[in-house]
Structure 1
Amino acid sequence: MASAQSEDRVNARVMALAGAPERIDMGLERMRLAMAALDLPQRQPWPVILVAGTNGKGSTVAYLESLYRQAGYRVAAYTSPHLWQFAERLRVDGSLLGEEQWLEALEQVARAAGRIPLTYFELATLAALLLVRAAAPELLVLEVGMGGRLDAVNAVDPDLSIITTVAMDHQQWLGDTREAIGVEKAGILRRGVPVLYGDAKDPCATVLAAAETREAPLHWLGRDLDVDPAAQTLRMNGRLWRIPAPLWGGREQWDNLALATAATCLLRERLPAAAVEPGARWRCPPQLPGRCQRLRPWGSDGPTLWLDVAHNPQATGQLAEALRQHSGARIHALFNLLGDKDLAGCLEPLRGLVQQWFPVALPGSARARPWRELLAALDAMGLPVRVVEEGDFAASFAAARGELNAEDLLLCFGSFQVLGQLPMGLLSAAASARIPICQAG
């Protein structure tokens, strides 16, 4: 069960030019110098939506992509990280670009900006912007990699900003309080540029303050817009919109979808065809592998495979809430968390829900938490552990699956690196079908 990452020529070339993705050196000066060398403007010729937040970024981007594509627009969406192939980071009109296109874009960056010490993510973003320029979409959606203020994508000026949530994560780089992290997320705001914010029940004070200080028109979920899952409606500006149900996750996905739908309203002057009621069913269903994704790769007699990249306490709390809907099912969990993550905080919400824990090793990842450290943490928390061949992923996966019946769940979670060890074919539409948690009405 080998991942496809080892055969990824584009990923290998990015690392050869910039070093491993673990090298993080945040700041915008290098990006701006490189963009000038490549004649890439901060203000793009097409509308740009910039999406930041601790959790919910990927889902919100997927909803934006679907809503605009089903309205007939050609959309480019840049996200990170990838699961198997580097090319997953950019979709144009729903499709990935070929290796040769990426390799040529990378060589363009190397020729024009080779003397600038770019990081992995900066180099990836510059190559993506070159590919977007060649594709000439009608909308560009950019997902922040980490933080916001000093993230590479923030070198591009947005026409709309979205901050999904603010929670504790990446404290080493963003600060050790929620308020400090909020300052970094709010760094994507621009004067006069509208911002959508999704923390309805517990807004971060520094985000609200930044919107006011920078005179960025704030549209706050829970105050300026509301979503009603039971009625499948979004209320905004005194108007009700009928919306389709999310195809994965729980209540938080309704919030992410509400932000994406509200974005179509705020950009209606630039892209009017999307600013109409989307209706109760998806015409262009969103796709987001690895986010609360449920599959049946072994048929009706096998367990459900549940995949989620949840890697901070807020995300695993949401995962636990979804898992509680399946009382009576046995759950075996394969997981690892990167070394900078709150291990105890991530595991605590899942206490009592998982019958057996299978900690797996992540060979080749400099940020991975040592496997024996995982064992020690699970033991200290009194959680039931199953040790299989020093954490070998393939052996652990087979052992965890072998004891489960059709009504049970095999959960893989904790990082993109964990899910990236699954074979791509296991998650393909031909091999298995997505099971929506929220059914469309």
Structure 2
Amino acid sequence: MGLHPKIIDLTLDRVDRLLDRMGRPQDSLPPVVHVAGTNGKGSTIAFLRSILEQAGYRVHVYTSPHLVRFAERIRLAGEIIAEDHLSAILESAEQDNGGEPITFFEITTCAALKAFAETPADILLLEVGLGGRLDATNVVDKPACTVITPVSMDHTQYLGGDLHAIAGEKAAIQKNGVPSVVAPQDPIAAAVIGAAAERAGTRIIEAAPLPKDTPLGLTGPHQAVNAGTACATIDVLRQAGFTVTDADIAAGLAGAVWPARLQRLTAGPIPALLGPEWEVWLDGGHNAAAGQTLAAHAAKAWLGKSLYMIAGMLNTKTPEGFLAPFANLAKNVATISIPGEANSLSAEELCETALSVGLIAEPAESLEKATAALKGRPPGILLICGSLYLAGEVLADNS
């Protein structure tokens, strides 16, 4: 973290320099599926990993951010990287970098690519960290496939202030002659992605949501879109020579696991404090599109049940966009500061935003006190949400 510059300036120069010193590990990777988008990247990768492992393939995976341990970001042939191996590749990358300016994400991505190149596997599922065009992962010249999940407003300070600009950054992972799987998009984003594909000389495969009665391991109606995107990607990989049966796909979809995406908590101090009459759910969504999706799920799945929320968010997000969809759904929102996060909104700041969009809200000193305040109320649903960093704190205490 000490290497991190004060200002993130998106560029590939630092990554290219370090990878050259490391022997260009990006040239020695197994076939790569490169995944960009605003929402659904992690869930789509979770479905892909589950399907491919069901088919017997050894799968590398790179995702971010982590929830509890940094090692979660790097899966080598199906297993989370061992701590001693992680330490060794990070130390090697730091030595090769020689103290020159580089961001935290850039140097850890370079280290991960080295681990992927040195460990045998059949495929690498590579998630973009931020944007696409100048993201540290965008160094693979010829991936097997690129994937763009739904694009919406997020990270505007880096990617641009409108959907056209943001979609352009993400569409830039498309490569000449490389199939591009594209999830259902807002019309503006779809037009930008289509134009970028034409310039890049690639063909777009439009993914469609799976039927709502398809058994999925991940909860929420939006997962039909992510599962459909994964299935369209599997079709591309089949054409490239991967052997995946329909039975592999069905089992993989049903068995997919991705923590903090509408995850029900059944063990740990929070469910224990509230008792078995309550349902406790955790979600790391943090932008307007995620708020709309969560609220739509709540309105349908939890109809007739009292919904209470505990929310914590970073000051780099737009909390009004995330919270507004819950205005007519939640009985109360307790706002908290995310422990250990310098960029967290204070409980009071987030409470003011919640009140401004029509929610009944009050600040709380901590997650524990916010939970305890629900004791004695009629049992219902507790949704803890607003940030993957908050989700990580919850999982660390409830696992």
Q: Does the TM-score normalized on the shorter chain lie above 0.5?
A: yes
Matches within 5 A, 1:12-51: 15-16=1-2, 18-19=3-4, 24-51=8-35
Q: Distance in 2 between matches of 1:221 and 1:380?
A: 38
* C-alpha displacement of 1:23: 5.2
> Equivalent residue of 2:243, what SS?
helix
The 1:19/1:403 distance shift into structure 2, 3 A limit, reads farther
d(CA) in 2 for partners of 1:410 and 1:344?
A: 20
Describe the superposition over 1:265-292 as per-residue Cα deviations: whole angstroms up to 9, x where unpaired: 2122544222645354448821111001
Q: How many residues align?
A: 391
Query: Which moved further from structure 2: 339-348 or 45-54?
Result: 339-348
> For the Cα contact (< 8 Å) 2:36–2:147, is it kept in 1?
yes
Helix, strand or coil for the counterpart of 1:334?
A: strand
Distance (whole Å) between structure 2 residues aligned to residue 405 and residue 100 of structure 1: 48
Structure 2: how far apart are the matches of 1:200 and 1:362? 32
2:216–2:253: 8 Å Cα contact kept in structure 1? no
- Take 1:156 and 1:403, find their aligned partners in 2: how far apart are those partners? 55
For structure 2, which runs of at least 5 residues remain unmatched after alignment?
none
Return the alpha-carbon distance in structure 1 between the equivalents of residues 85 and 119 of structure 2.
11
Which of 89, 94, 107 is 1:123 aligned to?
A: 107
Cα distance between partner residues in 2 of 1:120 and 1:257: 31
Q: Which amino acid aligns with 2:384?
A: C
Secondary structure of 2:42 counterpart = helix
Name the counterpart of 1:413.
Answer: 385
Q: TM-score, normalized by length of structure 2? A: 0.91
The CA distance in 1 between the partners of 2:348 and 2:82, in whole Å, is 39
For 2:186 and 2:172, the matched residues in 1 are separated by: 22
- Give percent identity, aligned residues only: 34
* Residues 146 and 181, structure 2, Cα contact 8 Å, conserved in 1: yes
Residues 1:187 and 1:195: Cα distance change in structure 2 (over 3 Å): same
Rounded Cα–Cα distance in structure 1 between residues aligned with 2:344 and 2:30? 38
User: Structure 1 residues 186, 283: closer, same or farther in 2, change over 3 A?
Assistant: closer
Deviation at 1:137, TM superposition (A): 1.2
The answer to whether the aligner puts 1:214 opposite 2:200 as a matched pair is yes
Give the C-alpha shift of residue 254 in structure 1. 1.2
Letter aligned with residue 352 of structure 1:
N
Name the CA distance, whole Å, in 1 between partners of 2:236 and 2:357.
Answer: 47
| Counterpart AA for 1:214 | A
Q: Is the 8 A contact 2:151 2:186 kept in 1?
A: no
* Aligned pairs (5 A) from 1:324-403: 324=299, 325-388=301-364, 391-400=365-374, 402-403=375-376
Q: Which residue of 2 aligns with 1:181?
A: 166
C-alpha change, 1:268 and 1:106, in structure 2 (3 Å) is same
Measured after TM superposition, the shift of residue 35 of structure 1 is 0.7
1:252 matched residue in structure 2: 222
Per-residue CA shift, 1:110-164, capped at 9, x if unaligned?
1112243110101111121122123221110111111111111112232210000
Deviation sequence 1:30-69 (CA, Å, 0-9, x none): 1111111001243344100010001000000101111110
Are 1:265 and 1:275, in contact at CA under 8 Å, matched by a contact in 2? no
Aligned equivalents of 2:4 and 2:173: distance in 1?
26
Match of 2:41 among 52, 57, 60: 57
How many Å apart are 1:363 and its aligned residue?
4.0
- Name the counterpart of 1:296: 266
Tell me the distance in 1 between the aligned counterparts of 2:391 and 2:200: 39
- Give the TM-score of the pair, scaled to structure 1: 0.83
Q: How does 1:103-122 map to 2 (within 5 A)?
A: 103-122=87-106
Where do 5+ consecutive residues of structure 1 fail to align?
1-14, 233-244, 429-441
Please state whether the residue corresponding to 1:268 is helix, strand or coil. Answer: helix
**1:69/1:284 contact within 8 Å kept:** no
The verdict on how the C-alpha distance between 1:405 and 1:127 changes in structure 2, with shifts beyond 3 A counting, is farther
State the secondary structure of the residue aligned to 2:153: coil
Query: Which piece of structure 1 moves more, 255-264 or 198-207?
Result: 198-207
What residue is the counterpart of 1:136 in the other structure?
Answer: 120
What RMSD over aligned residues (CA atoms) do the two structures have, in Å?
2.2
Q: CA shift at 1:351, angstroms?
A: 0.9
Contact 1:44/1:156, CA 8 A, preserved across alignment:
no
Distance in 2, matches of 1:275 and 1:25, equals 44
- Which of 231, 250, 256 is the aligned partner of 1:261? 231
Following superposition, the deviation at residue 404 of structure 1 comes to: 5.2
Shift of 1:314: 0.7
Aligned residues of 1:34 and 1:116 also touching (Cα < 8 A): no
The 1-side partners of 2:186 and 2:11 are apart by 32
Aligned to 1:239: none
Q: What does the per-residue CA deviation read over 1:335-375, in whole Å, with 9 as the maximum and x for residues that have no partner?
A: 12211222211111111211111101124323222332112
